[in-house]
Amino acid sequence: GDSVTQMEGPVTLSEEAFLTINCTYTATGYPSLFWYVQYPGEGLQLLLKATKADDKGSNKGFEATYRKETTSFHLEKGSVQVSDSAVYFCALSATSGFGKGTKLSVIP
Amino acid sequence: DAMVIQNPRYQVTQFGKPVTLSCSQTLNHNVMYWYQQKSSQAPKLLFHYYDKDFNNEADTPDNFQSRRPNTSFCFLDIRSPGLGDAAMYLCATSRDPPGPRNQETQYFGPGTRLLVL
């Protein structure tokens, strides 16, 4: 069935460092792809999404490009902040499940 | 603001004592989901409703049931909680049902953390 494989953490970066979290997918057809973020003690919230090949989702300085040729949707940010510390989940549709999550800690 | 509300945020129950968790939404979405999330793990889908149509995941234990009396409310019933059911329970909604061609962003509530004594 459809699934995502996500780089596992934890990831610890210094403030203003570059972030990449890898996500690859297996799917039939052309699914939409999502990144969700979960701050401590809270539910998940959508960070960004892309609905077709070569689409780039972006929000709050984060970006991810839907790459059909490599079946990937890697999350990137050029300069992380302490407030970005959270767990990040890659996902296909709800019934395909989430990736295992990557915990990001940003230190001042 | 339109949102997904879960009450209570923390619920304590006793081993084997039935417990109900509540979720409401003001988004008027057709689909409501229940997830179980254990510490440091990804959320695991238990079931979802598309309108009144109930869809159970194959590996969801029979101990977990759900009710959706109307569009706005959905309940998770745990008939006989065990220690292994202690977790965060997340409710989510989407406008469209899950599917390979749907762009169904999910909107999550803050979760209810269940403790089983």
CB A80 within 8 Å of CB A15: yes
pLDDT in tens, B65-84: 999 999 999 999 999 999 99
Q: Give residue B1's pLDDT.
A: 67
pLDDT in tens, A27-60: 887 788 999 999 988 889 999 999 889 999 999 9
> What Rg, from alpha-carbon coordinates, does chain A have?
13
Q: Give residue A31's pLDDT.
A: 84
Q: What is the mean pLDDT of residues B4-25?
A: 95
One-letter amino acid for residue B102 of the chain: N
**CB A2: neighbour CB atoms within 10 A?**
15
Whether pLDDT at B25 is above 90: yes
Chain B: residue nearest A94 by CA? B98
- Give the model's confidence band at B40: pLDDT under 50 very low, under 70 low, under 90 confident, else very high: confident
Dihedral sign computed on CA atoms, order B37, B105, B107, A86: positive
A7 touches chain B (CB under 8 A): no
A1 touches chain B (CB under 8 A): no
Q: Which of residues 62-101 of A touch B (CB under 8 A)?
A: 89, 93-101
B94 touches chain A (CB under 8 A): yes
Coil, strand, or helix at residue A101?
A: coil
Q: Do A99 and B4 touch (CB under 8 A)?
A: no
The span from the CA of B16 to the CA of B22, in Å, is: 19
- Give the model's confidence band at B102: pLDDT under 50 very low, under 70 low, under 90 confident, else very high: low
